[in-house]
Structure 1
């Protein structure tokens, strides 16, 4: 268990440092933070591997979680170069032609459809109660 934990510390530290260097899309503060945490993981792993004499050590859960979180964050922020031969992974939304329409406002046509639907529902309810009272 101890050896596995030390190896995971080294791997996690290297992954964090490499991704902080490679992922240019991340903000500078995030890149500095991830590289500092990666250096911390490497330092703690070195301490455990070479200088620990008491036999007691502390297992930190961020060693397992932080590299996965960073990989997901980098995968979401990285924009792949668009080739003319390959289709985009996610098609971009087309902007409608003409002037922008305010979202959430009903047009006269939609108000008429809603009023007709409401009247039909009320008529169905009335018919139901008239039939059940006979």
Structure 2
């Protein structure tokens, strides 16, 4: 076994990187770095640069040890120490594991927010009752 390529990363990757191959056969790697701002990063295996895919707004920035997950329609999910779960929709040219459908994305986003709200409410009630 031999190392084909290495990338310089400014920090420690403590979660498991997500490797995705798109319809054209291009391979992408997504990961988080355990430092502020708790962003999502990506590389293409045929490129030499680490890209910032998503940076949280200032109030949601924090350290991050999370692994990245992907849904069937290509949304990336991760969390950081701000207690926020992020759902990041990628651009068309990035890994497409399904067809882009804006109405389906809107409906999925609505149910995601509804489920997240229910979890927050349940957690607050449990904390008050304890």
> So what's the TM-score if we normalise by structure 1?
0.23
User: Whose helix fraction is larger, Structure 1's or Structure 2's?
Assistant: 1
Structure label with greater radius of gyration = 1
| Larger RCO of the pair (alpha carbons < 8 Å, separation 6+) | 1
TM-score, length basis structure 2? 0.23
